[in-house]
């Protein structure tokens, strides 16, 4: 997919926009001034693949310890500022790598100017974040909004989108007046279709990098569908330079799902194993769901290379669907036949499948690390054993 050309901004050692890899962001859920917990949460998110982490700084006691937090974590930190311009100035002073700001929340334009100027002096960018909840219609913008509304008239909720675009333009005027262009834009809504519409529009109108997200998406179970459908569609069009998936849940899930989204779209190089598993059906011959859960957990801890592992419930369709896997297991008559790089290496009872599979994965990882073989190379043409053979061999080995 062709990526949309944008300006590039620098957030600590992470670039956003243009040809920079698409980054994954998240936000801590605890109080920033609970310094040890905050550092632990940032570290947990970074270890899961977050490239940038945002923290809220609603009080002075939050910005006071920001410097300590920044010095003890290994990802750039963004200060999320609402209402209090002084928190932004304090965060900049503390060495934060980016400010997230909604100028409309700070009322006094001179205060907004002071934040912009401080970011310029410190050479750090600002994300201008406009959310559907913070849109307020202004009388002096009515004409512009009318034009925009007619532009969006063929789309559901066109007026809301028009208001948001007008708001972004209004804010950009403020930044232009200070000759500040070190900017990233976001415009979040909770309706996935509208998120696609507004980011498509932003990408046509502005060349600033875009921070994609769906706001108040809900719990992971439903929020993931809402977020992935919108962000996946945009990323597939080459729109979006950094993403945050947001759930009413542990932010670790936001990072895990954001990373997996980029992996699936080939926008990030996979770290660790890739698990393929069949959905199971009436042909199932082992407790597949428990096996898949166990395999997934163990792979996460034990495998660093992008080994493709397939767990298939039977020998009927499994081999075809597992084609391309480096390691695969096909269940049959409460046993598992294990293949490594296309060669059958074991036929074990159900209770031994997990351990043997992991052993084979670790063995393959070691051989790859020693340069004896490569992943993906011999992972072709797994031939399905006849169904009867699985049973017979299983009972006689
Ligand atoms: S691999 Fe076998 S058990 Fe799994 S879905 Fe396909 S046919 Fe069903």
Q: What is the tens place of the pLDDT at every residue in 176-207?
A: 999 999 999 999 999 999 999 999 999 999 99
Section 350-367 average pLDDT:
96
Instruction: Name the packing angle between helices 109-122 and 85-93 (round to 10°).
Output: 10
pLDDT of 363: 96
pLDDT of 397: 30
Determine contact, residues 44/75, Cβ cutoff 8 Å: no
- Show the CA angle centred on residue 93, arms to residues 88 and 98, nearest 5°: 55
Q: Given ligand 1 and candidates 277, 281, 330, which is best to mutate, with the most ligand atoms within 8 Å of its CB?
A: 281
CA 72 to CA 82: how far, in whole Å?
25
Q: Is 315 in the pocket of ligand 1 (CB under 6 A)?
A: no
pLDDT of 378: 65
pLDDT over threshold 50, residue 393: no
Atom of ligand 1 nearest to the CA of 330: 1
Which residue has the CA at smallest separation from atom 7 of ligand 1? Answer: 317
pLDDT of 371: 94
pLDDT of 150: 64
CA atoms within 13 A on the CB side of 233: 16
Atom of ligand 1 nearest to the CA of 314: 2
Q: What is the CA radius of gyration of the chain?
A: 25
Q: With bands split at pLDDT 50, 70 and 90, how would you rate the model's confidence at 1?
A: confident
Q: With bands split at pLDDT 50, 70 and 90, how would you rate the model's confidence at 153?
A: low
pLDDT over threshold 90, residue 334: no
Q: Is 313 in the pocket of ligand 1 (CB under 6 A)?
A: yes
Q: With bands split at pLDDT 50, 70 and 90, how would you rate the model's confidence at 294?
A: very high
Q: Given ligand 1 and candidates 283, 322, 323, 387, which is best to mutate, with the most ligand atoms within 8 Å of its CB?
A: 283
Which residue has the CA at smallest separation from atom 5 of ligand 1? Answer: 280
Determine contact, residues 394/333, Cβ cutoff 8 Å: yes
pLDDT of 136: 52
User: What mean pLDDT value characterizes the chain?
Assistant: 88
In Å, how far are 100, 193, 301 from 217, measured between CA atoms?
A: 20, 13, 29
Which residue has the CA at smallest separation from atom 2 of ligand 1? Answer: 314
Q: Which domains can be identified in the chain, with CATH numbers?
A: 9-264 (3.20.20.20), 274-396 (3.30.413.10)
pLDDT over threshold 80, residue 314: yes
pLDDT of 35: 97
pLDDT of 380: 47
Name the percent of the chain lying above pLDDT 90. Answer: 69
Q: 131: which strand partners?
A: 188
Section 275-282 average pLDDT:
89
Q: Given ligand 1 and candidates 276, 277, 279, which is best to mutate, with the most ligand atoms within 8 Å of its CB?
A: 279
Alpha carbon 143 to its chain's center: 38
Residue ranges in the chain assigned as alpha helix (H):
35-47, 60-64, 66-72, 85-93, 109-122, 142-151, 158-177, 192-205, 220-236, 251-264, 288-302, 318-321, 353-369, 387-396
Nearest alpha-carbon partner for 228 in 184, 185, 186, 259: 259
Q: Is 46 in the pocket of ligand 1 (CB under 6 A)?
A: no
pLDDT digits (tens, 9 = 90+) for 39-98: 999 999 999 999 999 999 999 999 999 999 999 999 999 999 987 899 999 999 999 999
Gap from CA of 277 to ligand 1 centroid (Å): 9
């Amino acid at each position: 997919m062709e990526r949309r050309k944008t300006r590039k901004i620098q957030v600590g050692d992470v670039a956003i926009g243009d040809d920079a890899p698409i980054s994954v962001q998240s936000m801590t859920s605890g109080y920033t001034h609970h310094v040890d917990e905050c550092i632990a949460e940032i570290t947990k998110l970074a270890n899961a693949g977050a490239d940038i982490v945002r923290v809220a700084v609603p009080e002075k006691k939050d910005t006071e310890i920001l410097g300590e937090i920044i010095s003890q974590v290994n990802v750039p930190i963004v200060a999320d500022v609402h209402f209090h311009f002084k928190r932004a100035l304090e965060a900049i002073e503390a060495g934060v790598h980016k400010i997230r700001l909604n100028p409309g929340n700070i009322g006094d334009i001179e205060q907004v100017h002071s934040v912009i100027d401080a970011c310029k002096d410190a050479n750090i960018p600002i994300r201008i974040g406009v959310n559907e909840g913070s849109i307020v219609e202004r009388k002096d913008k009515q004409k512009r909004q009318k034009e925009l509304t007619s532009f969006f008239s063929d789309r559901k909720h066109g007026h809301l989108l028009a208001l948001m675009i007008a708001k972004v333009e209004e804010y950009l005027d403020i930044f232009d007046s200070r000759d500040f262009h070190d900017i990233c834009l976001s415009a979040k809504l909770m309706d996935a279709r509208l998120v696609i519409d507004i980011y498509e529009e932003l990408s046509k109108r502005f060349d600033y990098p875009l921070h994609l997200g769906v706001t108040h998406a809900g719990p992971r179970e439903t929020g993931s569908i809402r977020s992935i459908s919108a962000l996946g569609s945009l990323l597939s069009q080459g729109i979006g330079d950094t993403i945050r998936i947001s759930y009413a849940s542990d932010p670790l899930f936001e990072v895990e799902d954001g990373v997996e989204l980029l992996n699936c779209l080939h926008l990030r190089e996979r770290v660790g194993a890739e698990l393929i598993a069949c959905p199971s059906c009436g042909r199932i011959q082992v407790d597949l769901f428990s096996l898949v859960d166990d395999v997934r957990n163990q792979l996460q801890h034990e495998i660093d290379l992008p080994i493709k592992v397939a767990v298939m419930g039977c020998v009927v369709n499994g081999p075809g669907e597992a084609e391309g896997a480096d390691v695969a297991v096909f269940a049959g008559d409460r046993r598992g036949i294990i293949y490594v790089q296309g060669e059958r290496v074991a036929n074990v009872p159900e209770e031994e499948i997990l351990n043997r599979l992991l052993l084979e994965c670790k063995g393959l990882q070691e051989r790859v690390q020693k340069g004896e073989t490569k992943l993906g190379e011999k992972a072709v043409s797994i031939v399905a054993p006849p169904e009867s053979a699985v049973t017979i061999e299983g009972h006689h080995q």
